[in-house]
Structure 1
């Protein structure tokens, strides 16, 4: 099957951006209504439940990525029998995963109150609420989720985005109506039931699209022993990577809840919500590119792929730098306007969360190439070291510096282990003909330039005084213009800028 990489990537990015607009904007209004209707304690409880279930999601172990990677070659060769065997294997795995999540969630029930510092809210039954969240997560795996791998492997993520836009949009609209018009604490039950219902609908819609578009792919046949060994090896590496991601994200909320309390958990997650929203938008780009890069690694020379890698990294880090500048300059004004001064932290929080975002994003293109090359097993030691370091630093720094310590505990291993160690692995096992020093040098320059542009933009925009929505819009427009002019001035004579400009010019002409 011939995959049109550029066309599919463009289509996926377009559908993905529309999806992100819906799934980030509407939940923002829902979260706001949640704070003012049910209070910060229940929103903190909602964040805690989500974090616990993210931990249980580790049971998936990365099988989805391993299966999708295993489909690239048979799809290119039109080997339908192998694809069907992979699909059958995947369905069995997901049944086991869903069952493990259910059992693990039930086992956690007696310890729920131990994960909250101080008293738990008593107006509602937190055990019933947690079971509803648990069912929502488990059904994601038990109902046709395995079929989505076909859309991912054929680079048709636009269908996934379309379905997610519809179901998430309807979920949020109904939840918002419930929160605005039913002034009762018991609306929380219906809030979760709505989410559960549309999770089921989303899985059914994806399954129907696969059945209609790819009727030749059915669950039949068995994988050979050698193929299962390859997948198990990849999953072993992916499992460690998934656990690492879980400690980086979900454990933060659990530590804040256990050591500081539910109100600070809400405040932390409000700030993290902003970061995660921008991360979600940028992840659309890397997700849309993944299958195309996988195809390119299999069919193009190392020199061609390294040139693409350098161009993509430059463009992506430019976008990440721009987002970092804008985030820092607007953070406090936005938070004050959104949740009020009582739920807003000092400027230091804006700085630390902005640094966290940038540290996370400078790894993205490298991670995308690492995933496309299937280097999960080779990354296992990096993930283990990052995971252990993160947990230890979380435990120590949350007690010394509170919520600032939690974010700092994530930044340190991201830079020292994920970026440096992870980059070495990609160059050791794939870009073997090139020196990693060039990659490190480029990214150090990008980081210094981003820091300088942030300071310049901040010192200019701080003179835009006022308050309210109009003030925020004027400041945002300044953040669109000023950083990008400064980036052009800094980068205009560099080789990467010239290559990126030529690449973009070719794609526009196409």
Structure 2
């Protein structure tokens, strides 16, 4: 059942991502040509600034979701109801706190946003703030569906929402070039989607509507409080690591540079989100696995997910390094390029962060929050020090080198250590042995693919597509040849074979029923 739910959720997620990706390219193109690079930079900068406010939430959601895995697995409706009522109350308070803090930031906008020729910046900020606050009022509904491994329902709602929102925003940009209206439509669509999803959840799980008289037991509440404290520290660190790039670029380079980087960021996030559709849906399956199975079983599945992690992130890293620059040149022009050096560092960051997905999933679903609560803060201090130091001497690339240095010095070591020594209770060097082996294979695949694809000059979209076909075939063919006899490959291929077998039987059954129906009609 866990595998079936994961496959359904992954299929829904990938389908959603294909649709959103196509729409986002069209929307970004219209945005750039309608409003220009400054608006694009402002969009990215305000997203980062308001990202600071989400630190108010840090810890509550993840901790309560972790506490839900066991009662959901046991179908303990009273405890589920008690936890969900707590979840709802906490997020209502968080919404008001985020709103208040957002309003307090207003006087400081001029210190963050400099040298920009855009009107109504304050009003734009307030709409961004509203779009940040609204989801908190209903987030507990989608989170509960995720814990129940029904992510596909959430995905379906947000796919429809994104399609409607993006199409309306494209029309607004094309016909009015009104940025305020562009932002306002997102507020309306977000509210309608959240309310609709809440109604569906209440219909599916009517017991959630009742106010539970059961109090959360002391062990559970103490564990939640302990985890919340740890996750708050972690999330503050995570924001200072990943959420301050645009602020540093805006302060030390320019808002326009934020706009240029945002194109690279968007393309990289598209690939990252594709992989997240797989691993985020596996996340809740692993949580269910941790709650019900022995550690040996969890370790076996972890090795499979790490192998899948390597395959996807190395494959996407190769594609991005070879195709991003020619794609941007053809899409919006070579003047929007940042340079190969910046791209190399961004791809290394993408690969390293992605390769930690499987180990981080086990860490989070096993409830390991407290032990490394200070690690992200230490990483954040290292990141800010080196990013600010290097941006003064190297420019834009210095910001990302600073992030890379902090990543290699802290989470690259701490996360595997905690999972292997505290949870699996086996030697950590098994992890680094696998990691090194996979990375060497990835480097070999890159050089082979880069060499073969270099014979194709991507000066048109057709030639870019041909180059892309080479990038698709070469690394995947190499991986199949090298890993076809490994346990992890066989495990994944058996799942896919079983899925295709069931799908083919269903198609044949539908065809047969259709033929019988036609005969009866005759």
Unaligned runs of 5+ in 1: none
- Deviation per CA, 1:457-476, whole angstroms, max 9, x where unpaired? 11221110141211111111
Which residue number in structure 2 is paired with residue 111 of structure 1? 108
Would you say 1:223 and 2:216 are equivalent positions? yes
> Aligned partners of 1:226 and 1:424: how far apart in 2?
26
Asked if residue 261 in structure 1 is aligned to residue 243 in structure 2, the reply is: no
Corresponding position of 1:19: 16
CA radius of gyration, larger in: 2
Would you say 1:175 and 2:166 are equivalent positions? no
- Of residues 117, 121, 128, the one that matches 1:121 is 117
Instruction: Say whether the 8 Å CA contact 1:449–1:490 is kept in structure 2.
Output: no
Q: Distance in 1 between matches of 2:150 and 2:486?
A: 35
Counterpart of 2:404 in structure 1 is 411
CA distance in 2, matches of 1:491, 1:419: 25
Please identify, of 354-363 and 399-408, the stretch whose mean Cα deviation from structure 2 is larger: 399-408
Residue aligning to 2:190: 199
Greater Cα shift, 170-179 or 391-400: 391-400
Give the aligned partner of residue 448 of structure 2: 456
TM-score, normalised via structure 2 length:
0.92
| Residue 391 (1) aligns with residue 391 (2) | no
What is the correspondence of 1:286-435 to structure 2 with a 5 Å cutoff? 286-432=279-425, 434-435=426-427
Does the 8 A contact of 2:231 with 2:369 survive in 1? Answer: yes
Check whether the contact 2:317–2:350 (CA below 8 A) recurs between aligned residues.
Answer: yes
287-296 vs 243-252, which deviates more? 243-252
Displacement, 1:419? Answer: 2.2
SS in 2 for 1:216: helix
For the structure 1 residues 509 and 371, does the alpha-carbon distance in structure 2 shift closer, same or farther, using more than 3 Å as the test?
A: farther
Distance 2:113 2:452 in 1: 42
Q: 1:65-117: per-residue Cα shift (whole Å, max 9, x none)?
A: 21111111112222111111111111111112111111111111111121134
Q: Is 1:382–1:422's contact at 8 Å kept on the other side of the alignment?
A: no
Which whole-Å CA distance do the structure 2 matches of 1:72 and 1:496 have between them?
26
Once residues 241 and 330 of structure 1 are traced to their aligned partners in structure 2, the CA distance between those partners, rounded to angstroms, is 34
Contact 1:67/1:149 (<8 A) preserved: no
- Shift of the 291–179 alpha-carbon distance from structure 1 to 2, 3 Å rule, reads same
User: What's the RMSD between the two structures over aligned residues?
Assistant: 1.8
CA contact (8 A) 1:42 1:121 kept: no
The alignment covers a number of residue pairs equal to 500
Shift of 1:507: 6.4
What displacement does 1:173 show?
Answer: 0.5
Q: Is the 8 A contact 2:87 2:140 kept in 1?
A: yes
Aligned pairs for 1:63-142 within 5 A:
63-117=60-114, 119-122=115-118, 124-141=119-136
Choose from 421, 431, 455 the match for 1:439: 431
Aligned mates of 1:366, 1:104 — CA distance in 2: 34
- Aligned mate of 1:159, from 153, 160, 168: 153
Cα distance between partner residues in 2 of 1:466 and 1:367? 37
CA deviation digits over 1:354-411, x for unaligned, max 9? 1111011000011111111111112313222222222222211222222211122222
Select between 268-277 and 409-418 the one with higher mean Cα deviation. Answer: 409-418
Determine if contact 2:458/2:467 at 8 Å carries over to the other structure.
Answer: no
- Structure 2 CA distance, aligned partners of 1:173 and 1:91? 32
- Within 2, Cα distance between the matches of 1:111 and 1:317? 43
Q: How much does 1:22 deviate?
A: 2.5
SS in 2 for 1:217: helix
CA contact (8 A) 1:116 1:261 kept: no
Taking structure 1 as reference, are residues 304 and 145 closer, same or farther at Cα in structure 2, changes over 3 Å only? closer
The 8 Å contact of residues 23 and 166 in structure 2, kept in 1 or not, is answered as yes
Structure 1 pair 439–295 and aligned structure 2 pair: CA distance change class (3 A): same
Matches of 2:180 and 2:391 in 1, distance apart? 32
Selected match of 1:188 from 179, 182, 185: 179
Is residue 2:56 matched to residue 1:56? no
- Larger mean CA deviation between 67-76 and 218-227 belongs to 218-227
- Measure the CA separation in 2 of the matches of 1:293 and 1:507: 20
Residue 485 (1) aligns with residue 480 (2): no
Residue 490 of structure 1 deviates from its aligned partner by 4.1
Q: CA deviation at 1:211?
A: 0.7
For 1:138 and 1:125, how far apart are their aligned partners in 2?
Answer: 20
Inter-CA distance 459–6: structure 2 relative to 1 (3 Å threshold): same
